[in-house]
Amino acid sequence: MSENNGTFVESIHLADHLEPYRKRLITANSMISDRYRAKESLNGLWHYCVDQYDTCLRSKWFEENYYDGDGRPFPLDYSFDTWETIKVPSCWNLHSDKLFLYEGSIVYTRRFIYRNHGEDKVFIKFGGAAYEAYVFVNKKYMGMHEGASTAFYIDVTDVLEDENRIVVVVNNTRKRTGVPCENTDWFNYGGLYRDVEILRLPKTFIQYFTLCLATEGKGLFATVQLNDAGAGSKAVLRIEELDIKADIDIRSGKGELMINADPVLWTPDNPKLYDVKVEYGNDSLCERIGFRSIEVVGTDVFHNGEKILLKGVCAHEESVLNGKAVSEEEIREYYQLAKEMNCNYMRLAHYPHSEACAQIADEVGMLLWEEVPVYWAIEFGNRRVYENAENQLTELIKRGINRASTIIWSVGNENPDADDRLLFMKSLAQHSKKLDPSRLVSAACLVNGEELIIEDRLIDYIDIVGINEYYGWYVPDFSQLIKLFNNSNPSKPIIISEFGADARVGFRGTKDELMTEDNQLYVYQRQIETFKQIPYIKGTSPWIFFDFRCPRRTHPVQNYYNIKGLLSADKKYKKPSYFAMQEFYASWKA
């Protein structure tokens, strides 16, 4: 062991080798409104290696110390450009059998050429890295991002050369202090599973742009935030179809404007979108935005001023072929299948799905519930865990702020009512309303199964209440369900955000035989008959649209899948319960 290679000696004695890296967190502040901005892809084959002991971060492989001060070669434990290759984006679990259940660090690296085209700022956007990502460009540490499901941006302006190397350490280890924590009911995918792209921008650019229906009166409300907090002058907003060209005064890098307008409102049946352009200096940003309102009055939900029922279904972000790296075609496929089931709404559980989901939902007309993975037994008393959760919520809201389809931000799922959990979740709910007063905030709550009543202190802080209940399945005594509803007198709309039962595709039997399609149908029929009797139920989203991979489900009939789907995992087969929901939604009236 060479005494000169301090890196090696130092590295094997470091107790917490990650602490120095954590000092440079990449957060929602790095986000850039980038819809339709020109991007150059860094997708493709990257070299990779499994790094179970995190040696890259410990021994600083990214510094590429090949020689000592006198030019003598050091012995190396890595070789970036002769490693095997993996496709980016993809989930490493589906790359090879040896990686299927791998949890830990994988080091990704590639070289790329960069030629300046006169731009002043250059960023690299990572669409998603599950779960932590540590990024190095040309031997320099750029920062780390925590959270598997939202994009992050890195300013590489000052480190780029003509020829560049990027190294990314991705670690998908489940952690007690993670968001989600180490125990979930879905498959733990890992990797650079969404696009990696280069953005070239002017020195002063539009960093964040929002446009929505004004909450008061007729018109639109626009906000613009530049990357330069000292910038002045004005931005110009154009919506040609509405004959709008409006100046937005900019002071200290920000501006906002109320604009008289009377747009055709966006609805699931008529998803009208407008082409929007906002310009500042030599930067311009395009968007396609639908305008609609969503609000709660008493126990009713109003969409564009009309009462609405949310006829939905839950979905994980997964396909058999691509895992969590779902394609746009796969998203369009399950929206079409949901529409055929007479859905106007989907609950994208339990974490932010690809940003394409809301963009496509805007086009095809699907209302969305989007959620952060504050799931089950999060460490609610841990400040850093809260900061992580709040950052993921901020990243979710900022990326979707202009999406007509998204009507609900959910701050979590099935967290038992406790003091530290209440403080954690109400803070998230209040943060959501502060960032985005135009949308409803919710959570999928548990019921009080002892007293058989809907009660949760969090209800005071959310607009619309999700209730997960599994009467007829995890609670076999179905008669408790109607008691629960009759004992409850909620002052806010209730969505049954989860109900359901397992059913193995094609497995038939009696209505009482668990895991058969017949039993699942029997559970659905009794659930539906009960919902019809309860006026304060304003939406349902059965769990779940399609079967999904889950390491907790080891019964041979399940075969490591959660089989509560209405569809098979490949979405090719419709179980009888799909048709029960299709019929219910066709006739359920507000």
Site of interaction with ligand GCU (CB under 6 A): 185, 350, 413-414, 468, 498, 543, 562, 564
Cα gap 371→538, rounded to integer Å? 19
Cα gap 318→353, rounded to integer Å? 9
CB 265 within 8 A of CB 252: no
Closer CB to ligand GCU, 280 or 543, in the complex:
543
Residue by residue, what is the 3-state secondary structure of 343-361?
CCEEEECCCCCCHHHHHHH
Closer CB to ligand GCU, 57 or 581, in the complex:
581
Cα gap 573→570, rounded to integer Å? 8
Find the shortest distance in angstroms from Cβ 239 to ligand GCU.
Answer: 40
CA atoms within 13 A on the CB side of 590: 14
Closer CB to ligand GCU, 80 or 543, in the complex:
543
Closer CB to ligand GCU, 47 or 350, in the complex:
350
Closer CB to ligand GCU, 121 or 350, in the complex:
350
Pairing state of beta strands 105-113 and 163-171? Answer: antiparallel
Find the shortest distance in angstroms from Cβ 204 to ligand GCU.
Answer: 44
Find the shortest distance in angstroms from Cβ 187 to ligand GCU.
Answer: 11
Find the shortest distance in angstroms from Cβ 316 to ligand GCU.
Answer: 8
Closer CB to ligand GCU, 53 or 560, in the complex:
560
Find the shortest distance in angstroms from Cβ 320 to ligand GCU.
Answer: 17
Closest CA relative to residue 109, chosen from 58, 146, 160, 56: 56
Q: Is the peptide bond before 551 cis (omega within 30 degrees of 0)?
A: no
**What is the phi/psi pair of residue 103, to 5°?**
-130, 120
Residue nearest to ligand GCU (CB): 185
Closer CB to ligand GCU, 212 or 372, in the complex:
372
Cα gap 161→113, rounded to integer Å? 8
CA-angle at 150, arms to 144 and 154, nearest 5°: 40
What tokens does 566 get? 């209405």
Find the shortest distance in angstroms from Cβ 478 to ligand GCU.
Answer: 17
Closer CB to ligand GCU, 350 or 403, in the complex:
350
Where do we find the tokens 């609610």? 380
Which residues are 235's β-sheet partners?
248
Find the shortest distance in angstroms from Cβ 434 to ligand GCU.
Answer: 27
Cα gap 185→538, rounded to integer Å? 26
Closer CB to ligand GCU, 335 or 543, in the complex:
543
Find the shortest distance in angstroms from Cβ 474 to ligand GCU.
Answer: 7
Cα gap 152→170, rounded to integer Å? 14
Closer CB to ligand GCU, 350 or 504, in the complex:
350
Find the shortest distance in angstroms from Cβ 515 to ligand GCU.
Answer: 12
Find the shortest distance in angstroms from Cβ 449 to ligand GCU.
Answer: 13
Cα gap 364→191, rounded to integer Å? 29
Cα gap 442→432, rounded to integer Å? 10
Closer CB to ligand GCU, 344 or 413, in the complex:
413
Cα gap 43→128, rounded to integer Å? 13
**What is the phi/psi pair of residue 218, to 5°?**
-90, 130
Find the shortest distance in angstroms from Cβ 492 to ligand GCU.
Answer: 20
Cα separation values, 481 from 281, 523, 529, 532, Å: 60, 12, 11, 13
Find the shortest distance in angstroms from Cβ 548 to ligand GCU.
Answer: 8
Closer CB to ligand GCU, 110 or 350, in the complex:
350
For residue 148, count other CB atoms closer than 10 A to its CB. 27
Find the shortest distance in angstroms from Cβ 14 to ligand GCU.
Answer: 37
Q: Which residues of 193-227 are buried (b: 16+ CB within 10 A; e: fewer)?
A: bbbbbbbbbbebbbbbbbbbbbeeeeebbbebbbb
3-state SS, residue 146: strand
Closer CB to ligand GCU, 46 or 507, in the complex:
507
Closer CB to ligand GCU, 60 or 347, in the complex:
347
Q: In what order do the strands lie in the sheet with 294-297?
A: 294-297, 300-303, 306-307
Give the containing element (helix H, strand E) for 141. strand 140-146
Closer CB to ligand GCU, 114 or 478, in the complex:
478
User: Rounded to the nearest 10 degrees, what angle do helices 355-364 and 328-340 cross at?
Assistant: 50
Find the shortest distance in angstroms from Cβ 44 to ligand GCU.
Answer: 34
Contacts of 26 (CB under 8 A, 6+ apart): 135, 142, 143, 144, 145, 152, 153, 154
Find the shortest distance in angstroms from Cβ 350 to ligand GCU.
Answer: 6
Cα separation values, 130 from 181, 311, 418, Å: 13, 31, 29
